[in-house]
Amino acid sequence: MTDNSKKIESAHAHRKDEHLSLVIWQWRHILPYSGLQFVRLDRPVLPNIRTDQVDHSVDLFGRHFDWPFYIEAMTGGSLRTGVINQKLAAIAKKYHLAMAVGSESIAISEKEAISSFSVVRETNPEGFIFANIGAGHSLDDAKEAVKIVDANALEIHINAVQELSMNEGDRDFSAWKNNIAKIIEQVQVPVIIKEVGFGMSKSAIKDLADLHPAAINIAGAGGTDFGRIEEARNRESLWETADQNNFASDEDKKEAIEAEDDLDFQSVLTSNTNLGISTSESLRFAKQANTALPIIANGGITNSLEVFNAMALGAKMAGIAGYFLFQLSKNNLEHTIESWQKQLPLLYAIYGAANSFQISQLKEIDPYDSLN
């Protein structure tokens, strides 16, 4: 990795470091909730399978993945986050996992930030790497993001809630749909459209499917909450931010002043409890949407059983971001991944599933059946 330690980092790079610290803080203090821990599947009492028959690999984007989970997009853009990316890339290489980098928007505008992303490809030359860019970016920016990490695929993140929670965030989303359509049509790698922790409804998934991406990542609520993270950075609520930007009426301003000490009121717009759709709910909506597109699960996943349950609800793969970052901060990520890779084949066998397709055919138990 190029040594830029003598350079003074930009405000954008500082924001990346703030995100990193606040994500770890969230995972240390707030209990995640994907909803996947409560999925109940119809389990055969006679599985009729040997554990050495289990094939836990997944085929997606024309590639063969050894495991049905991967390191999802987290960080990059500063010296500190570059070191994190290097560590994650080394772990991805060791355990044969795909990996996504965080938003590369900073590397598009600040060339000195490029090395904090390109280090992933340098560390893992043969690995499957997802580039990452926001929906507000142009086709040229998307191509540059792919080039920086020599990516095998591109994630386009849609993060309106996060942007509106930032003082410096975007306020114009009118070009997003056209940007995404152009990128999907013209980049030379598979494109995945992903949320950033607020989930997707049935209609949202259908709308995105009309753009013909290679896959959709529903990125449900219950894990990292970027709305709250941005409010923590702002040291104020979204209401107060709106007031400063002259979006609020006089009546709204009066109510905001009266509610200064009401934390529930201040965080209502950015709380996942109010805006978010959990990972399990989003996966069920994806099933109902029935688009035939591969679905990726992400959001609050913390163990191998939740990965398995996500696949049973229709996910092709599961991405894990915040929880892996938290485990890395405790020097425990390698142990976590090793445990998951030992546990998953056992879970397959418990449910009599020889492969990922058979997991997708498992039936969810209707809690009302026992009343009949």
322 is in an annotated binding site: yes
What's residue 292's pLDDT? 96
Query: In this structure, what DSSP letter does residue 364 have?
Result: B
Hey, how many other C-beta atoms are within 10 angstroms of the C-beta on 153?
23
- Of the two residues 73 and 339, the one the predictor is more confident about is 339
Q: Which of 30-39, 138-147, 205-214 has the lowest mean pLDDT?
A: 30-39
**Pick among 3.30.1330.60, 3.40.720.10, 3.20.20.70, 3.40.50.261: CATH of 29-225+271-371:** 3.20.20.70
Q: What is the average per-residue pLDDT within 184-197?
A: 97
pLDDT class of 318 with cuts at 50, 70, 90: very high
Q: What is the average per-residue pLDDT within 328-354?
A: 98
Question: Is the distance from CB of 130 to CB of 155 less than 8 angstroms?
Answer: yes
* φ, ψ at 129 (rounded to 5°): -120, 130
16 is in an annotated binding site: yes
Q: What is the pLDDT of residues 266-317, one digit of tens each?
A: 344 444 456 789 999 999 999 999 999 999 999 999 999 999 999 999 999 9
What's residue 363's pLDDT? 97
321 is in an annotated binding site: yes
Q: What is the pLDDT of residues 120-176, one digit of tens each?
A: 999 999 999 999 999 999 999 999 999 999 999 999 999 888 888 777 788 899 999
pTM value > 0.75: yes
Which tokens is 258 given? 């009266």
Query: In this structure, what DSSP letter does residue 9 have?
Result: P
pLDDT class of 371 with cuts at 50, 70, 90: low
What's residue 286's pLDDT? 99
The residues with which 298 forms a beta bridge, in sequence order, are 319
Strand extents, DSSP E, the chain: 58-60, 63-65, 69-71, 99-100, 129-134, 153-157, 191-194, 215-217, 295-298, 317-320
What's residue 267's pLDDT? 47
* pLDDT greater than 80 at residue 210: yes
What's residue 74's pLDDT? 84
Which tokens is 198 given? 């607020």
How far apart are alpha carbons 161 and 264 in whole angstroms? 17
73 is in an annotated binding site: yes
How far apart are alpha carbons 369 and 231 in whole angstroms? 44
273 is in an annotated binding site: no
74 is in an annotated binding site: yes
Question: Average pLDDT, whole number, for the chain?
Answer: 88
How many Å separate Cα 133 from the centre of its chain? 13
Q: DSSP of 154-168, one letter per residue?
A: EEEE--HHHHHHSTT
163 is in an annotated binding site: yes
| Non-local CB neighbours of 225 within 8 Å, separated by 6+ positions | 26, 30, 197, 270, 271, 272, 276
What's residue 10's pLDDT? 83
Which tokens is 247 given? 């979006």
pLDDT class of 243 with cuts at 50, 70, 90: very low
Question: Is the distance from CB of 136 to CB of 157 less than 8 angstroms?
Answer: no
How far apart are alpha carbons 69 and 35 in whole angstroms? 18
| Non-local CB neighbours of 208 within 8 Å, separated by 6+ positions | 193, 200, 216
What's residue 97's pLDDT? 99
Angle among Cα 61, 66, 67 to the nearest 5 degrees reads 90
194 is in an annotated binding site: yes
Query: In this structure, what DSSP letter does residue 51 have?
Result: G
What's residue 156's pLDDT? 99
Distances (CA, A) of 244 to 95, 241, 248, 253, 262: 48, 5, 8, 10, 19
* pLDDT greater than 90 at residue 86: yes
